[in-house]
Amino acid sequence: MKLYVIRHGRTPWNEKGLMQGRVNIKLSETGKKEAKDIREKLKDINFDICISSPLKRTLETASIVTDNKYKIITDELLIERNLGEFEGKKYAEYEKLKFWDYKLNNDSYGVEPVKDILKRTSSFLNNLKEKNYKTVLIVSHAATIRAINYNIIGYDSNTDFLEFKPTHGEIYEYEIWWKIFKATVLSHEYDHLFGILHIDIAEKIYDMPQDERKKFRSLDENKYLVVSKTKKYKHPLR
């Protein structure tokens, strides 16, 4: 299955440097142009379906990019991060509080924890594997795309997680083989999926207490494939 993932075009709030979160803002004229540019880049791709966040800016982008030639459905799992009290405020006020630290499960100020974004996007991908689509267009938001990318390819550190910054007008392409499963254990602090298959298993690893994770890593070598970035352990998948 091929996934083409795009961020919505710019909005007036993007242009003012304001945090949108789930505030339902339409595209600006610049955003509409960005969507048209993406449409031109993808004109030779035949999509089975377009799946969009339900917010106006993503639906408007989806409509322009597909030129209404493909079915567009919405999925709440693709919605933007809830930014709580920071919605409508300048980005700098939000960024300095480090709400992108994926090791934290902090919902202060009503901000959706990163862990929750990762879990809902992994659920989205897990649902997707049950479909018979070959080529899918996904229209979403920066936070959600960052989490999708995390679930697909993984990261070695929090710094890498932050370094991936989905931009307006860019297309992120992924090819997924659902019959390949790899789980990457980043460290004693955090486990996540590398590849995509069995995201449900990855979610279970994610929620395990540290002592349970250790048991998972030491399971019989014929049962799971766990590849350590530090090369300390490796078990094949049955």
Catalytic site includes residue 60: no
Sign of CA dihedral 133, 134, 137, 143: positive
Which of 80, 87, 112, 203 is an active site residue?
80
Q: Which residues pair with 193 in a beta bridge?
A: 183
**Residue 122 to residue 119: CA distance in whole angstroms:** 5
Cβ contact 107:83 at 8 Å: no
Which of 8, 141, 168, 235 is an active site residue?
8
Structure tokens at 77: 């799992």
Catalytic site includes residue 80: yes
**111 contact partners, CB below 8 Å, separation of at least 6:** 81, 82, 83, 84, 85, 86, 99
Pinpoint the alpha helices (H) of 164-234.
199-207, 210-217
Residue 217: C-alpha distances to residues 139, 170, 184, 193 (Å): 36, 37, 10, 14
CB atoms within 10 A of CB 217: 19
**Residue 114 to residue 128: CA distance in whole angstroms:** 21
Active-site annotation, residues: 8, 80
